[in-house]
Structure formats: C-alpha cells, structure tokens
C-alpha cells in the first residue's frame, strides 16, 4: 500500500518547447493514478497542468484542482475533476499545500519557480517537512539546482537546503523517490 496519498504537482500552464515535457506530465499522471495517489494541482486545463490532470483522470485516478476565479476564464477548468474556485493566489497556494503530502515541480514558468522557492523557504524555516521533488526533464531545472548550490557555497544558506530537494530526471522516479523519503522518515 502506498504511503503517498496526495501529491501536489507544480507545472506550467503552457507545454513548453519540446514534446518531452507533455510526455513526462502524462507519464507522471498515469503513475499517480496507478499508485492511488491523488493529484493536487493549479486547477487549469491548459499546458502541463492540463496534461498531468487529464492523465490522472483518464487513468481513473483522483484529481483536485484549486484555481482563483480570475484564472477560470483564461485557463478553463478540466471536465470531470473535483475543483475549488478560490478568491486569491494566496488562498490557492495554501489550499494546495494543506491538501498535499509531498510536492513535485515540473517544467514551468515564473509562477512554478516562485512556488518551489516558497516551499524551500518554508522548509528552511521549519514550517514543513514534506518531500519536495524537482523533476528535471531534459535538464530544465539544472540551472536552479546549480543556483541553490551556489547560494549554499557562498554562505547564504545552510547545507541542509541541498537535502530539502530530491532531484529526479524521469517521471517514473518521482513517486518511488518520495516514498523512499517517507519510508526512511527523513522528512
């Protein structure tokens, strides 16, 4: 039985410049459904968000989207999934955080970047110990991982920050990496 009941996936409302990003989103979604892990995501039907949510839904999995009202017209809401329309981005982020046992960051834009940085900041402030995975598809997040190392090496963050992130390159490795962290009680 899986220890991972719910996984928040942060990713772009666009598909990016390579088909491999959408393929990774679909593969992760299928793995989540097969594992019985509920997807918590930003609620839209566009881009990688729509790809991962559609894959979970189409494979018979559980999906929960959280979207601010002002984004409904821009991004739409995926049919056949549970969702909550909220007033603000802050409410959205808190609800997604509270509904999730762990987090996975896929390729995305500035919003995705902001979300993972906030999670890392909260972890360093000891506000949570939930696993944080960076799915580094085709090296997309390698510059971020290197920047985090630079910040640590230059004395602006504790060495423990390196251990707050789990970096994987394949979507098939996301759930096993999280469950290993949960099983080892390293969180």
Token output for 111 = 């919003």
Give residue 145's pLDDT.
97
- 3-class DSSP state of 10: strand
Residue 107 has pLDDT above 80, yes or no: yes
- The burial of 77, by beta-carbon neighbours within 10 Å (0-12 exposed, 13-18 middle, 19 or more buried), is given as middle
Mean pLDDT of 11-39: 98
**CA–CA distance, 181 with 104 (Å, rounded to integer):** 13
145-186: per-residue pLDDT in tens?
Answer: 999 999 999 999 999 999 999 999 999 999 999 999 887 654
43-85: per-residue pLDDT in tens?
Answer: 999 999 999 999 999 999 999 999 999 999 999 999 999 999 9
Q: How is residue 137 annotated by DSSP?
A: G
Q: How is residue 107 annotated by DSSP?
A: S
Instruction: Report domain extents, the chain.
Output: 6-183
Q: How is residue 170 annotated by DSSP?
A: S
Q: Which residue has the tokens 């772009």?
A: 12
pTM score: 0.94
- Fold designation for 6-183: Rossmann fold (3.40.50)
Q: Where are the alpha helices (DSSP H) in 7-88?
A: 19-35, 47-58, 69-75
Residue 129 has pLDDT above 50, yes or no: yes
Give residue 1's pLDDT.
59
Q: How is residue 84 annotated by DSSP?
A: E
Give residue 187's pLDDT.
42
């Amino acid at each position: 039985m899986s220890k991972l009941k719910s996984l928040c996936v942060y990713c772009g409302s666009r598909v990016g410049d390579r088909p491999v990003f959408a393929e990774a989103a679909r593969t992760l979604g299928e793995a989540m459904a097969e594992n019985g892990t509920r997807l918590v995501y930003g609620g839209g039907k566009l881009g990688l968000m729509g790809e991962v949510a559609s894959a979970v839904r189409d494979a018979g999995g559980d999906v929960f989207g959280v979207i601010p009202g002002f984004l409904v017209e821009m991004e739409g809401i995926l049919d056949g999934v549970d969702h909550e329309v909220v007033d603000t981005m802050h409410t959205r982020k808190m609800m997604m955080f509270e509904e999730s046992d762990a987090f996975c960051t896929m390729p995305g834009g500035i919003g995705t970047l902001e979300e993972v940085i906030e999670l890392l900041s909260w972890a360093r402030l000891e506000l949570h110990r939930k696993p944080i995975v960076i799915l580094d598809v085709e090296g997309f997040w390698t510059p971020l991982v290197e920047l985090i190392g630079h910040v640590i090496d230059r004395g602006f963050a504790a060495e423990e920050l390196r251990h707050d992130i789990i970096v994987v390159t394949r979507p098939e490795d996301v759930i096993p990496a999280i469950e290993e962290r949960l099983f080892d009680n390293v969180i």
